Amino acid sequence: MTSETPPLPVGDIPTSPAISYDIPTPPRALVIVAHPDDAEFQCGGTLAKWANAGCVINHLVLTDGAKGTWDPEQNAEELVEQRRGEQMEAARRIGSKGKVVMLGHVDGELQPTLHIRDQVAYWIRATQPTVVLAHDPWKRYRLHPDHRNAGWLALDGIVAARDPHYFSHHGLEIHRPDFALLFEADEPDHVEDISGFVDTKVEALLAHESQFVTTHAIPPGDDGTFAAVFGERIRDHAAAVGAVSGIARGESFKLLDHL
């Protein structure tokens, strides 16, 4: 890793031990993210652990990922299709048996509108998750507006999905998740032990080949050397998160219950 290597788009290392650990494996989970690869970076180990234990994992990706490149000559439509395929493959590597839904809103222009809240609430009702995982919209000094707005949409969608007078045109049963786990959290208080599942997280992230140059720091034509370094960076981060709470490998969240 050099001084020019971009930081990994993962949450900060917690500064104090978690106060809760390892919620029971949910029968169904829905991860709501701004972009393809956000889920794998932020909670890929947790998703892999739950999938291994029989949880049905569903992905809801709000944008099309069209701006996920540093190449000004990249064709946006081709990139969107590539990222769609990469997300499907990443979910497969995680062990997902649920849906991968790509809403296709323009990358970088996501807004917390009623229309998109309607869509999010629909998929919460349709997938009936016990747990929703999402960006923490309260994180201070966040630069990327899509992450911030995706967090608001997820939480506003939870409120809408649980009450019958919101979006009654769905024609679906209302649904109230038991928990929300917010990643990139400003004040994390929960950790999931992902010991034994970090390698699966790395393999899922390596499905996102369009992001090798931008987020993974893997140059074109790599012989595996930089991919190995990337994997070690992910493992080191998981170890650092876990060490704060006395476990080998971890992912941290803000836990919301009584939704």
C-alpha dist (Å) from residue 205 to 71, 104, 107, 153, 211? 20, 20, 19, 24, 9
Q: What is the dihedral of CA 214, 220, 226, 230, to 10 degrees?
A: 30
pLDDT in tens, 169-195: 999 999 999 999 999 999 999 999 999
Q: What is the pTM for the complete model shown?
A: 0.96
Q: Residue 85 CA to chain centroid, in angstroms?
A: 16
Name the token pair of 153: 């949409």
pLDDT at 2: 46
Angle of helix 76-94 relative to helix 198-205, nearest 10 degrees? Answer: 160
Number of C-beta neighbours around residue 8 at 10 A: 16
pLDDT at 5: 78
For the chain, give every domain's residue range: 24-257
The burial class, CB within 10 Å (0-12 / 13-18 / 19+), for 55 is: buried
Residue 177's nearest CA partner among 115, 131, 125 is: 131
Pick the CATH number of 24-257 from 3.40.50.10320, 3.40.50.720, 3.40.50.1820, 3.40.50.620: 3.40.50.10320
Q: What is the pLDDT along the chain (259 residues), one digit of tens a residue?
A: 444 677 888 989 999 999 999 999 999 999 999 999 999 999 999 999 999 999 999 999 999 999 998 989 899 999 999 999 999 999 999 999 999 999 999 999 999 999 999 999 999 999 999 999 999 999 998 889 999 999 999 999 999 999 999 999 999 999 999 999 999 999 999 999 999 999 999 999 999 999 999 999 999 999 999 999 999 999 999 999 999 999 999 999 999 998 9
